[in-house]
Amino acid sequence: MIYVDSLLCSPLERETPDHRPALDQIAAGEVGCVVTTVGFWEDATESMDQLVKWRHMAEDNADLVEIAYTAGDIRRIADSGRCAIVLGFQNVSFLQGRLGYVELFARMGTRVGQLTYNIQSDIGGSCYEPHDSGLSRYGKYVVREMNRCGMVVDLSHVGNTTTLDAIRHSAEPVAITHSNPHSWAPHPRNKPDEVLDALKDNGGVIGLSVYRNIVGEHTTAEKWSEMVAWTVDRIGIEHVGIGTDFDQTGGMEYVSWMRQGRWARETQYGAGSKANPGKAPKLDWFASPADFPNAEQALRARGFDDREVALLMGENWLNFFDRTFKEL
């Protein structure tokens, strides 16, 4: 069984030459693959700088990780006892309005791109906008070019109208790498039933999160596994995985950049609020990648059998990557 985390939002650089807590947590949890967050608001040059940093990190920690470009790479790396790093962005600001940059960033190893982050863009609407514009004409071109280049269309922070437009327009299965059902935990970041149903029809996968701000009051292993079971009943087991949304190492400066970049002077709270402005505390039972075995145990306790547990813990994502990753 290969554990796959479809969204990790923190950097993984070593703090000192001989200390690597985030990487050790991934190794302790025997996580075979993580989709990383290379950037949020960075332009093309800054995004390339970030790609260089991630490649250097992987080279410096080759005993634990390796960058994966295909689903076959993921399985090979995981089988070696290491973790496969899939390079992804939580925004496509790296395009800077240039359609041709989709292929360039795909050739540089980018395998996942979220269409919008926390504000309106030239692609479409964010989940936090009071009015969702839907997918723009440019956004339609971007979606099809991402399809052609084997870059996964991620819709996690995307507004619901734009999400539905993207699903309808995409020629390939799409992903919601880190979100939860809105029916289970009402929050702008979570997805209503009509989006989940459209994702199923598209052949896509959702990574259910353990980020406290979007699990609502359902913070125990029992409640989380109940949410998994509800989602499986709604859209089918082949469409459900795990996307923790863990930030293991980023401090408040990193969180501030994540939430507002350069686009606002006033404090932005992301999935938090003025009453809850800081980093959200982790769930007691699933506080880091080291706790991935606890998720497996929770699913087994819920009654999922061996095949179903393997699908939910990672095989669904691997099958999805088989269908969507392409080599140019």
Question: Beta partners for 246?
Answer: 8
DSSP 131-174: S-----HHHHHHHHHHHHHT-EEE-TTB-HHHHHHHHHH-SS--
pLDDT on residue 20: 64
pLDDT on residue 267: 82
Q: Are 177 and 212 in contact (CB under 8 A)?
A: no
Torsion over CA: 168, 170, 171, 173 (sign): negative
Q: Which amino acid is at 282?
A: K
pLDDT on residue 191: 98
* 31 closest CA partner among 319, 323, 313, 320: 313
* 12 closest CA partner among 48, 55, 41, 45: 55
pLDDT on residue 237: 98
Token duo for residue 45: 């040059």
For residues 129 and 149, give the distance between their C-alpha atoms in angstroms, rounded to a whole number. Answer: 29
Q: Which residue has the tokens 């990557």?
A: 321
* 174 closest CA partner among 193, 199, 144: 199
pLDDT on residue 50: 97
Q: Are 72 and 64 in contact (CB under 8 A)?
A: no
Q: Are 238 and 311 in contact (CB under 8 A)?
A: yes
Nearest-Å Rg of the Cα atoms of the chain is 18
* 255 closest CA partner among 118, 160, 57, 85: 118
pLDDT on residue 12: 86
* 3 closest CA partner among 78, 89, 112: 78
231: three-class secondary structure by DSSP: helix
Token duo for residue 31: 């996580």
Chunk the chain into consecutive blocks of 10 residues (it has 328) and report each block's average pLDDT, rounded to whole numbers: 95 64 91 97 98 96 96 97 98 98 98 97 96 97 98 98 98 98 96 98 98 92 98 98 87 77 79 70 93 98 98 98 93
CA distances from 64 to 129, 159, 315 (A): 40, 36, 21
Domains of the chain: 3-324 (3.20.20.140)
Half-sphere exposure of 88 (CA within 13 A, CB side): 35
193 C-beta neighbours (distance < 10 Å), count? 12
pLDDT on residue 328: 82
